[in-house]
Amino acid sequence: MSNEAYQRLTQRTARIGALGEAAAVLHWDASTMMPRGGGAARGEQLATLAGLSHELATAPEMAEDLAAATTTEPWAEANLALMRSAHVRATALPTSLVEAMARANSACEKVWREARAKSDFAMVRPHLEEVLRLQREMAQALSAATGLLPYDALMEGYQRGVTAAEVEPVFDAYEVFLRDALPRAEEIQARRGPPAPLQGPFPAEKQRGMCRRLSLQIGLEAENSRLDESVHPFCGGTPSDVRITTFYSEADPAKALLGVLHETGHALYERGLPEAYARQPVGEAAGMAAHESQSLIVEMQACRSDAFLSYLGPELHKLYGGDAAPYGAKNLAGLWRRVSRGFIRVDADELTYPAHVILRFRLERAMIEGRLSIADLPGAWAEGLQSLLGIVPPDDARGCLQDIHWYDGGFGYFPSYTLGAMAAAQLMKAARTATPGLDAGLAKGDMAPLLGWLRANVHAQGSRLGFQDLLRAATGKPLDPMDFQQHLAARYLE
């Protein structure tokens, strides 16, 4: 009877997974193809799918089978444990709240696009206030069900097993490190002088072809992926139908190229998940910090390395022509690893990027805990950035309007970015030790040695292991922020 109960659970979670996949494709379409007039209908479609998924997850039969199911197979045991955890979270939320959040997020995200273009926070403020109200309601409900603090309950939805109390000292320590490292890096950079700029033109069509070629070259399959354009680059879709997006600047080919390499890291993770557990909780990625580690190990650790740049430079020169000198590995490193105190998170270098995440972590935590109102967000943003990087955004488009996350209901997500960067450095260190030919491969544009190690140690593990246990299994220790600091010191302070 218990085995039959487990089989019924897997069938039900597979249906929930299929609904999630449909929603993912609709989200992708909304960001890439959908005409502006389709926004209201799309919001209703997504709300309906969210409601159906929630009804399946909270049906009485689900609770009965969870109580009866047993298994001794390790992967099935992990799957069952994740089902039970998901059920606790799902039953904490009424369907009406789930649907209301989906509608509010969709409506707010559409207004945000126009507000950001006009740098007009007042335009989106009432919509964001409604999103926050619902997020706080959800956080309280999840807190009551799980015993976690409200903000931790939101974080748990993105990265299992990591709390704000664990993240806070890591981020505080990085702020101390940055206070010393940033001026030192700027001084070293100034002594070396500015790199030579790449000479255009850089037609979007040529960029598109190069981006797609490199994405496929480092391991993504053409028959299981697409590359499209959107305002905010992302990787979406499903594990067998991965959708990457970027945007092209004809003045700077690096924006699209490095963005696509980053999103390809996400896509490779999705493609490497265990097919035997597709649409099952244990067959999903291990969380968003784990996911960010995979995008950043590809983009920052591998593709911005001296070895890969020595391969990439001649390829780019072949495509765009002109003077060959700026395409040398040393000059590309100067261009694409340049430290700068900027306003925009997605354009930040890897040394200052964590400061942008720390700011958002502190602000969203304060909003969820009721210590910061939406009306005070722009001022708090400016004050926080001044404290961390010594700069103040000149307008809200380069301040609190720049990211989609809060306007789409993504509270609790931001810590994953920097936890992922730290994990990427730790994983790369372990991969280099285990795979002596890794850098030699990168110098030839060959990502196979690194990808093979990641497939075995990260991708194929699904979510069988939590974030810390995944790192322990792959590297021999839990998250060690010192590996990230050592990587940054070697790259920027020597």
CA atoms within 13 A on the CB side of 41: 6
Pairwise CA distance, residues 276 & 83, whole Å: 17
Tell me the pLDDT tens digit for each residue of 37-60: 998 899 899 989 999 999 999 999
Question: Which range marks the domain in which residue 78 is found?
Answer: 2-156
Residue 356 lies in a domain: no
Indicate whether 216 pLDDT > 80.
yes
pLDDT of residue 162: 95
229 inside domain: no
Distance CA 325, CA 327 (A): 5
Q: What is the pLDDT of the chain when averaged over all its residues?
A: 96
Q: Residue 337 contacts by C-beta under 8 Å, 6 or more apart in sequence?
A: 304, 349, 350, 491, 492
pLDDT (0 to 100) of residue 43 = 87
**Identity of residue 194:** P
Distance of CA 227 to the CA centre of its chain: 17
**Could you tell me which residues are beta bridge partners of residue 241?**
238
Task: Specify if 392 maps to a domain.
Answer: no
Mean pLDDT, range 87-91, rounded to an integer: 94
> Residue 200's pLDDT is what?
83
Count of other CB atoms within 10 angstroms of residue 34:
15
Residue pair 263/295 in contact by the 8 Å Cβ criterion: yes
Residue 349 lies in a domain: no
Phi, psi (deg, nearest 5) at residue 284? -85, 170
Handedness of CA 224, 228, 231, 233 (dihedral sign): positive
Residue 344 has pLDDT above 70, yes or no: yes
Q: Is the Cβ–Cβ distance between 124 and 105 less than 8 Å?
A: no
Residue 101 lies in a domain: yes
pLDDT band at 346 (very low <50, low <70, confident <90, very high): confident
pLDDT at 2: 67
Question: Rounded to whole angstroms, how far apart are CA atoms 188 and 400?
Answer: 31
Q: What is the DSSP string of 396-441?
A: GGGTTTS-STGGGT-TT-THHHHHHHHHHHHHHHHHHHH-TTHHHH
Other Cβ atoms less than 10 A from the Cβ of 220: the count is 23
pLDDT at 112 over 80: yes
> Are the C-beta atoms of residues 132 and 435 closer than 8 Å to each other?
no
pLDDT (tens digit per residue) in 226-282: 999 998 789 999 999 999 999 999 999 999 999 999 999 999 999 999 999 999 999
Percent with pLDDT over 70 in the chain? 100
Residues 427, 458: contact at Cβ < 8 Å? yes
Active-site position among 21, 130, 263, 270: 263
Q: 173 in a domain, yes or no?
A: no
Tens of pLDDT, residues 150-196: 999 999 999 999 999 999 999 999 999 999 999 999 999 999 999 99
Answer whether 239's CB lies under 8 Å from 463's CB.
no
pLDDT at 132: 98
Tell me the torsion sign for CA atoms 349, 350, 352, 358: positive
More confident position, 125 or 347: 125
Q: Establish if 106 belongs to a structural domain.
A: yes
User: Mind listing the pLDDT tens digit for each residue in 312-332?
Assistant: 999 999 999 999 999 999 999
223 is catalytic: no
Domain count across the chain: 1
Query: How far apart, in Å, are the Cα atoms of 284 and each of 84, 220, 245, 399, 481?
Result: 15, 18, 21, 33, 25
In a domain, 48, yes or no: yes
Confidence grade of residue 294 (pLDDT, cut at 50, 70, 90): very high
Phi-psi sector, 228: left (phi>0), alpha (psi -120 to 50), beta: beta
Specify the pLDDT at position 90.
92
476 CB-near residues (< 8 Å, 6+ apart) = 430
Residue partners of 261: CB distance under 8 A and separation at least 6: 214, 215, 218, 298, 299, 303
